Structure 1
Amino acid sequence: MKMKKLLLLSTGGTIASVASNAGLVPKETGEELIKMLGKLPYDIKVRDILQLDSSNIQPEEWKFIAQNIYKYRNDYDGIVVSHGTDTMAYTASMLSFMLRNINIPVVLTGSQVPINVVLSDAHDNLRLAFAAAATCPPDIYLAFHNKVMLGCRSVKVRTTNFDAFESVNVPPVATVSSDGLVFNDENFQKKHDGAPTLNTKMNSHVSLVKLFPGFDPNLLFAMVDSGCRGIVIEAYGLGGMNFIRRNMVAAIGKLIRQGIPVVASSQCLYERSDLTKYEVGREALLEGAISARDMTSESAITKLMWALGQGMDINEVAKFFDTNVAGEVTLK
């Protein structure tokens, strides 16, 4: 059987880091990563496109990564992106919106420990990512610690443990067993409905706010005065927001009447926001708050950036959040 032709796009991160007087710094090339893996049953090519700690990967880098994936999508059977773990879930989520109907599997991975350390998790994560890029259906994925997850459902939940990422509100696409990659019978991916497209337009002038008792709603207006064009609020429980004394609900209504979309998600990592259940949610819903349902915060904020980048008005943004674009949200 002909070997699958795969591409590694190296962007830096812990996986490629070496010790320095300033701490860990990304230095290893993609070729050096591959050499440390030993022989693999794939035809692998490497392109080093960035060499950054993922804390420094921002919207400009998202565009660059997406452009490279789109450029090489027809030359390979799958693409692996090595990436730092701290912002990898944000990158995976944004790529899910930028690269609609991608025609090959694209798999992001990294490690908690540099690959040059004896007990690093990098080797297993890279092998998993290449196996996923060779066998998964076309989509954007994140592969880590024996799990392959839909990119827009992945969240980093641990800072040092090797099991650093979880697939939130849907099972992983596949897991590793002694039989190899075992795929989940349920398919949460959106079926392709057209040719692959690249659309990197976005507006990053947005804010992600975690609500806490005593939060001053006037701070939201200060953000807007400073150029913020949309806000995701991590509200309590199912999406509740206070309206006694510090009236968050009234502030949201005023912002929405100014054309600023406000998306309500939950501070709880699992399950959904539901603004219809309690008075504190219904009041926000009546003021025009948009429910994020069971989306991750990473997916909600990148979806809002992408929507605003398309020039959507507040009604179009609300409709867009009522659409499952890449498997990022459960509508029923």
Structure 2
Amino acid sequence: MKKILLITTGGTIASEPTEEGLAPSLSSGELLPLLTSITENYTVETYDLFHLDSSNIQPEEWQQIAGCIAQRYRFYDGIVLTHGTDTMAYTSSVLSFMLRNIPIPVVLTGSQLPIRHPLSDGFENLRGAFAMAASGAPGVFVVFDRKVIFGARAVKVRTTGFDAFESVNSACAAVINSQGLQMLYTPTKPQGEFCLEDNLCSDVFLIKLTPGLNPEIFDMLLQMNYKGIVIEAFGAGGLHFIRRDLIAKLQKIVQSNITVVVCSQCLYEGSDFSIYQAGQKVLDQGVVQGYDMTTEAAVTKLMWALGKNSDPAEVRRVFATNYVGEISLQ
């Protein structure tokens, strides 16, 4: 039987009611006896890492998760990581970059209802997660509602629906249907040895443009010593420059050796700054295009890139490289 490590971090799946609302409390020792119909086909070991609502999982926790996996992956055929849904896409994205050339499946999952709720979706999600963890397909994935999504392409799109996650700008890695786990791509072995790259720069700010945004926000970010900025621009890549000149401010930011990545507010399809005048003006200032990356992938890739090397030219090179299917380069 395949040997699977179950790492728990909290989230709704491990939550129980309290006077202040749902809060993560179940340990793996309490969770595992509920899963006998799922785990009987595997040799399962467990490790309790956190008992956190995923809103409280931040870069420091990402490093702990990655370190935990790096220390243990050699002893298992696959790893299942239970995690709250709210920031799961950020965690799956950053793990995709940090766990370079991971040779086994690392599968994140969770639920919209606690596992002890009689209608919980957690059982089905865990069933799929264990199947994917036993598949031998290397990499980081999210399993939710019978879909297997590449880690750097997952986005949470619903707050309460069981189909909470979608694969954005990429086909799913696999689906689960009446024929079992159906792979939709051909897995390949990593081209290189596993390497834990867990240095991160958390000084990255995300801005979603709104019409009339005050350009002085960029002066404040300079004063706060941010090292990178991700901007969700309009449509295919527009920023206003009449009356409130955001583009002039971007020039100052870039000249201060701060990397600016610009992508689209639109969930689907990508940015292309060559189409419109507003976009070309942005490119002239030296910003980096995010193309069709998810916001979660863009933010975490920038944190990872800056953690490796803060030189803007090197960060630009990193963003021009497709590491885990996170970007479709044009």
Partners of 1:77 and 1:193 lie apart in 2 by: 19
- Which one-letter code corresponds to 2:230 in the other structure? V
1:311 Cα offset (Å): 2.3
Q: TM-score, normalised by structure 2?
A: 0.97
Farther off after superposition, 242-251 or 16-25: 242-251
- Which one-letter code corresponds to 1:183 in the other structure? M
- Residue 277 of structure 1 aligns to a residue in which SS? coil
1:191 Cα offset (Å): 6.0
Partners of 1:258 and 1:191 lie apart in 2 by: 40
Partner of 1:108: 108
Partner of 2:318: 320
CA distance 1:54–1:253, change in 2 (3 Å): same
Partner of 2:285: 287
Partners of 2:34 and 2:16 lie apart in 1 by: 14
Partner of 2:50: 50
1:207 Cα offset (Å): 0.3
Conserved in 1, the CA contact under 8 Å of 2:137 and 2:188?
Answer: no
| 1:35-184 matches, cutoff 5 A | 35-39=33-37, 40-184=40-184
1:38 Cα offset (Å): 2.3
Pick the aligned partner of 2:214 from 213, 216, 225. 216
- Which one-letter code corresponds to 1:178 in the other structure? S
Q: Deviations over 1:170-204 (max 9, x none)?
A: 0110011101011114x5x7862210000110110
Partners of 1:71 and 1:197 lie apart in 2 by: 11
Partner of 1:306: 304
Partners of 1:234 and 1:311 lie apart in 2 by: 23
- Residue 50 of structure 1 aligns to a residue in which SS? strand
Pick the aligned partner of 1:250 from 228, 248, 251. 248
- Which one-letter code corresponds to 1:44 in the other structure? V
Report sequence identity in percent.
51
1:35 Cα offset (Å): 1.4
Partners of 1:135 and 1:31 lie apart in 2 by: 25
Pick the aligned partner of 1:206 from 204, 207, 211. 204
Pick the aligned partner of 1:24 from 22, 25, 34. 22
Q: TM-score, normalised by structure 1?
A: 0.97
Conserved in 2, the CA contact under 8 Å of 1:6 and 1:130?
Answer: yes
RMSD of the TM alignment (CA)?
A: 1.1
Partners of 1:18 and 1:35 lie apart in 2 by: 16
Conserved in 2, the CA contact under 8 Å of 1:190 and 1:325?
Answer: no
For structure 2, the residue ranges without an aligned partner over 5 or more in a row are none
- Residue 37 of structure 1 aligns to a residue in which SS? helix
Conserved in 1, the CA contact under 8 Å of 2:309 and 2:315?
Answer: no
Partner of 2:258: 260
- Which one-letter code corresponds to 2:222 in the other structure? V
- Residue 36 of structure 2 aligns to a residue in which SS? coil
Partners of 1:327 and 1:312 lie apart in 2 by: 23
